[in-house]
Structure 1
C-alpha cells in the first residue's frame, strides 16, 4: 500500500480532532488486502468515526486530463476526507467541456476535484499553502523537497509554465502535467 504512514497519520489526526480519540490505529493491521483482489490498481476507502464503519476496495483507473476549468466557492470546507462530496460534485458539474476543475477559494488556488496541484515557476514546483485537503502524496512530496508551499492567487496562474495534478493514487512521475494555457 502506498504512503501508508501518511494515510495513517492523517486518519489518526482526523480521529483526534473530530471525535477526541487518543488511540492510534495501525492501518497495516486494520487493512489486510483481500485475497480476491487481482493485480490491477485498487483504491481502499475507509468510512469511520470512532470506529470503522465500512471498508471498500475498488478498482482504480486513471483519467486523462486535457483541459481544466476554474470554478469558485468561497465557503467550501474539505479539510477532512469526508464521505459527503456533494459540494465538490456540484463544482465538478460546472466543468463544461473540461476534464477537471481547479477550485478557487477567496482568490486562492486550492485543489482539483480529486487531486492536489502544483505549479512550475521555471525552477520550482509550488503547491498551494492552503489546499482543501492536505493529501498524503502532497505530504510525502513536501517531506522529500520535491514541492514547496506558497500562496497561489488565481491571478498568479499565468506566471507559471505548467500545472501538475497528483494524489495518493497518481504519483508524481505519472501525474497529469499540462501547460497552464489549458486552464480555462
Structure 2
C-alpha cells in the first residue's frame, strides 16, 4: 500500500468555499490511482462539519492519505514577487499533488530569485506553487506542458478564459505579463510585468 501523503488547498472567502467539485475530482483521481480499494474522502461532508470564518480570505489545507486526513484553516495573503527566473526540472514527475515538495523547493532555492519558472526540454511548465499564464496583449495563454494540471487551470480552460499553446523559454520575453494561478489565485490576482523576468 502506498502511504504517501497528498494535499488539497481550497479557497475560503467571506464564508464561501470555492470550486469544491474540482478538488473532489482530483482526490477521486488520486484514490483511483494510488488507493483503488479504499473509500474516497468527501470534501463536502468533511468541510461541512467545520466551523468556518465568515469574513476574510483563508486557505483550507486538507492533508490526506488512504485512511487519514487533517484539516487546517489559515489566513491567506497574496505574496509579493519582484523577480522570477527559469530553472530546468529534468524528468521530475509531479502529476499528483503530493505533500512532499522537497525536490521542487531545492530547485527553487538554486535559482536565487523570489519565484521560478520550471522548464522541461526548454518548454515552460509551472511556477513553484502555481500554474502559469501569459498575456500576449489580447488573451491569456497557458503552456500545454505542465507539472500539475491545477484545479484553477482546468476550470479556466473549461470556461474559455485561457487557451493552451506550447510556450518555450525563448518566448517568455515576448509577452506583456506573467500570471500565477492556483486555487487561491484567479486571473489578475497575481500578475507580474515581464520586467521581473530574469534570464539566466
Is TM more than 0.5 here?
Answer: yes
Aligned equivalents of 2:74 and 2:36: distance in 1?
A: 30
SS at 1:158 equivalent: helix
Aligned equivalents of 2:62 and 2:148: distance in 1?
A: 16
Aligned equivalents of 1:41 and 1:165: distance in 2?
A: 18
What per-residue deviation string (whole Å, max 9, x for no partner) do you get for residues 31-71 of structure 1?
Answer: 23633746332222222232233222222221011221212
**Given that residues 118 and 126 in structure 2 are in contact (C-alpha distance below 8 angstroms), is that contact kept between their aligned partners in structure 1?**
yes
Matched with 2:8 is none
Q: Which 4+ residue blocks in structure 1 deviate beyond 6 angstroms? A: none
Q: Is 2:79 aligned against 1:63?
A: yes
Q: Is 2:102 aligned against 1:80?
A: no
**Given that residues 46 and 55 in structure 1 are in contact (C-alpha distance below 8 angstroms), is that contact kept between their aligned partners in structure 2?**
yes
Q: Is 2:194 aligned against 1:180?
A: yes
**Given that residues 46 and 52 in structure 1 are in contact (C-alpha distance below 8 angstroms), is that contact kept between their aligned partners in structure 2?**
no
How many residues are aligned here?
Answer: 182
Aligned equivalents of 2:97 and 2:45: distance in 1?
A: 21
**Given that residues 38 and 66 in structure 2 are in contact (C-alpha distance below 8 angstroms), is that contact kept between their aligned partners in structure 1?**
no
Matched with 2:176 is 161
| Structure-to-structure mapping, 1:10-21, within 5 angstroms | 10-21=26-37
Distance 1:147 1:21, change over 3 A: farther
**Given that residues 76 and 105 in structure 1 are in contact (C-alpha distance below 8 angstroms), is that contact kept between their aligned partners in structure 2?**
no
How much has 1:116 moved relative to structure 2? Answer: 0.7
Q: With the length of structure 1 as denominator, give the TM-score of the two structures.
A: 0.89
Instruction: Flag structure 2 segments of 5+ consecutive residues without an equivalent.
Output: 1-16
| Structure-to-structure mapping, 1:1-184, within 5 angstroms | 1-21=17-37, 24-32=40-48, 34-35=50-51, 37=53, 39-96=55-112, 98-174=113-189, 176-184=190-198
Q: With the length of structure 2 as denominator, give the TM-score of the two structures.
A: 0.82
Aligned equivalents of 1:33 and 1:169: distance in 2?
A: 22
Aligned equivalents of 2:157 and 2:40: distance in 1?
A: 23
RMSD: 2.0
**Given that residues 179 and 188 in structure 2 are in contact (C-alpha distance below 8 angstroms), is that contact kept between their aligned partners in structure 1?**
no
How much has 1:114 moved relative to structure 2? Answer: 1.0
Aligned equivalents of 1:21 and 1:125: distance in 2?
A: 40
